Homo-oligomer: A and B are copies of this chain.
Amino acid sequence: MSQAQLRIDAANAEVWRRIVAGRPRLVDLRPAREVVPGLGERTVLHAGPPLAGPHEISGALRGTVIGAALYEGWAETSEAAARLLDAGAIELASAHEHGALGTYAGGISPSAPVFVVRNEAFGNLAYNNLNEGRGQALRYGCYDAATLGRLRWLERVLAPLLADAIRAAGGFDLLPIIAQALHMGDECHSRHKAASALFVNQLAPYVAAGADPAARRAEALAWLAANEIFFLNLTMPACKAILDAAAGVPGASVVTCMARNGARFGIRISAFPDRWFTAPVAPVEGAYFEGYGPADANPDLGDSAITETLGLGAFALAAAPALARYMGVAPGEVAQFTERMYPLVLGEHPDLTIPALGYRGVPTGIDVRRVATSGVTPVTNSGLAHRAGGIGQIGAGYVWTPLACYEAAAAALETQDFG
């Protein structure tokens, strides 16, 4: 093995040390404007690498931005909101570049309440908004009255109550919940039934003892109990908080971020923490809700691939046979997804294990060199939204991410001079 390769291996060992030491903890919940660094007053954060221009605004993202503008009161009608967007009067920025994440299209605007997750081992922070539940939702490009009403309820009713509970509890460690959920049929991306239920169990005592009126406490807990995907928006910043701490190791070839903006898929690797390697998004294979098909689908979108970047989601599909049908896979095939990822990674996460694989750890630490030479690319789960803004989710599936990004990152590493 060459000196250069050995140097990369040594750098990756440091990345590995940081990843497995990560300890993400939910420590606060605040309006985005109070905590997200560098967030402008007329900014909406979107998923994926920065947009190359307005031509990259997919239909679902357009709906999301219109919804955010209505929610913020920047416009009174969807037409007026669209005119603002087309006039360049709304700044669109990559959530990842602000320490945050866009679930599906994203849509974090200054008033949106965001979870604050701190990696206790390294002190770095990550942010995500509250999950709105399945069906019609801002993140899928909806801006109907029910979606906007729910956003206001999240901001005015749920968020203050949750924030009080989080502070009363002194925060909640997220990795143990994720680890337990992997033993309970979640892959911790598209399926979060167990993690959400476990989180509500931990939260409920603090809500029950909170200062809010009884009816409001009950309303909040009933809503949380019914939202089986709520914890996705906590797994995502947990993964980002872990992986961000592993970014910036000179020469390291490990992927610290995978994300899609509705036009391009992009990765960042530890050696180049601020550089995106992108390629056009690949098509989503999956299962459509009744009445929809591939022609209706928005191009792949969302920062939720941060879960696969740590080894969850499609990488941990062996843990989630009950998810298979939802994403158009046979229950007996789930283990193959996980097994195909092991050759691409540094190792098995010691704290995130899959009982059905004999407690093997999830495949963690994607090495662009291994991806580039194997020809197999990382697989990510994905929701499917309608390509026209305002319609919402139409299915779910998975994507084999484009090889070109990994090849480009590997090539960039080879040509680097680390002196």
Interface residue stretch chosen among A35-43, A129-137, A219-227, A384-392 = A219-227
Taken residue by residue from 178 to 214, chain A's Cβ proximity to chain B (1 for < 8 Å, 0 otherwise) reads as: 0010011110000001100110111011111110001
Contact A205 B221 (CB under 8 A): yes
Q: Which of A185, A207, A208, A209 has the most CB of B within 10 A?
A: A208
Cβ of A215 within 8 Å of any chain B Cβ, yes or no, is yes
Taken residue by residue from 293 to 323, chain A's Cβ proximity to chain B (1 for < 8 Å, 0 otherwise) reads as: 0000000000000000000000000000110
A381 to chain B, nearest CB (A): 16
Cβ of A73 within 8 Å of any chain B Cβ, yes or no, is no
Interface positions of A from 208 to 257, Cβ below 8 Å from B: 208-210, 214-215, 217-219, 221-222, 224-225
For chain A, the bracket of interface size reads 35 or more
A164 to chain B, nearest CB (A): 12
Interface residue stretch chosen among A52-60, A264-272, A351-359, A405-413 = A351-359
Interface residue stretch chosen among A324-332, A338-346, A367-375 = A324-332
B194, B207, B210, B321: which contacts A356 (Cβ < 8 A)?
Answer: B321
CB closest residue in chain B, given A219: B205
Interchain CA distance A217-B165 in the complex, whole Å: 14
CB closest residue in chain B, given A324: B355
User: Which residues on B sit within 8 Å (CB–CB) of A217?
Assistant: 205, 208-209
Contact B184 A205 (CB under 8 A): no
Main secondary structure of the interface of A (DSSP, over half): helix
A149 to chain B, nearest CB (A): 20
Contact A221 B204 (CB under 8 A): yes
Contact A201 B184 (CB under 8 A): no
Interchain CA distance A214-B212 in the complex, whole Å: 11
Interchain CA distance A215-B218 in the complex, whole Å: 16
Taken residue by residue from 64 to 85, chain A's Cβ proximity to chain B (1 for < 8 Å, 0 otherwise) reads as: 0000000000000000000000
User: Which residues on B sit within 8 Å (CB–CB) of A210?
Assistant: 214
User: Which residues on B sit within 8 Å (CB–CB) of A332?
Assistant: 358
B186, B204, B331: which contacts A359 (Cβ < 8 A)?
Answer: B331
User: Which residues on B sit within 8 Å (CB–CB) of A209?
Assistant: 214-215, 217-218
Contact A330 B356 (CB under 8 A): no
Interchain CA distance A361-B120 in the complex, whole Å: 44
Interchain CA distance A7-B355 in the complex, whole Å: 45
Interchain CA distance A272-B208 in the complex, whole Å: 49
A129 to chain B, nearest CB (A): 22
A265 to chain B, nearest CB (A): 30
Which residues of A are at the interface with B, using a C-beta cutoff of 8 A?
180, 183-186, 193-194, 197-198, 200-202, 204-210, 214-215, 217-219, 221-222, 224-225, 321-322, 324-325, 330-332, 355-359
Q: Besides A185-B194, A208-B221, 7 other CB < 8 A contacts? A: A184-B184, A184-B322, A197-B198, A204-B225, A206-B218, A324-B355, A331-B358
